[in-house]
A = this chain, B = another copy of it.
């Protein structure tokens, strides 16, 4: 296997998502550089361990960093931090991207690429929506429970659809080589709103009601609430000129019914008293809907409830 022609990856935020995809890329022969926080000493000494429904594996040696300044410039910079830490990016991101490199944002929510694009100038910015159930079990130890595919799109300013671009195809080739299924989206905006159809009800209600996904689906009234909120997201997206078929609601309900009992990432953040991604996942979509002269009372209520819980901690 000739790894020298392969592109290099920087993983900014090597948790349940970044750590998993980075490990898969390294296993496929790519040069991967992992930025870590608290887990740095452990991962530097012990590497990464991935327990996955697709097969367990270990990487005894990885390129681990505790500081973005020490990382080499890479072809692809993957942002897999929680959005609440994005304030650190403007200072650090530009020097990390090789000429002709690109940034791939693997974060949930809305309005993320817009902020990144401001910082990185003409560099291509892509967004990936990860349909994955994975949890960090301990330092350097990630458990991949279900799904794993990514909906990929390229960012253009002013909510334009970029179509299928060369940057997207190149990234899809890399991930496919690592065994990760990529769905190319001609319109990143729609891909992001579609992801919100899942994230807004489940992330929000899992925190407010202290519930796993299957518990929310089991009670008829909370199940109806999930559905009501999904419909509200689709109406809101339409107000912002991003059309999603109504049938997508049932698709997401079926998808969740087929999942194992899952604790959402926002619920894990809440339980571990970490800040929640309230603005990226709730505040930004809500403001987009209001700016489009529409309203979304349930999303607004969930936003208000989560803001209260987030600030109270």
Q: Are B228 and A308 in contact (CB under 8 A)?
A: no
Among B216, B224, B307, point to the contact of A221 (Cβ < 8 A).
B307
Q: Does A138 sit within 8 A of B, measured CB to CB?
A: no
Query: A305 contacts the other chain (Cβ, under 8 Å)?
Result: yes
Interface residues contributed by chain A, number (CB under 8 Å): 24
Interface of A, helix, strand, loop or mixed by DSSP: helix
Known contacts A215-B312, A297-B297, A298-B297: does B228 contact A305 (CB below 8 Å)? no
> Does A209 contact B297, Cβ atoms closer than 8 Å?
no
Contact A224 B298 (CB under 8 A): no
Residue of B nearest to A307 (CB): B221
Min distance, Cβ A68 to any Cβ of chain B, angstroms: 33
A-B contact pairs, 9 of them (CB 8 A): A208-B209, A209-B305, A209-B308, A211-B312, A215-B312, A219-B312, A221-B307, A222-B308, A298-B298
A contact residues vs B (CB 8 Å cutoff): 205, 208-209, 211, 215-216, 219, 221-222, 224-225, 228, 297-298, 300-301, 303-305, 307-309, 311-312
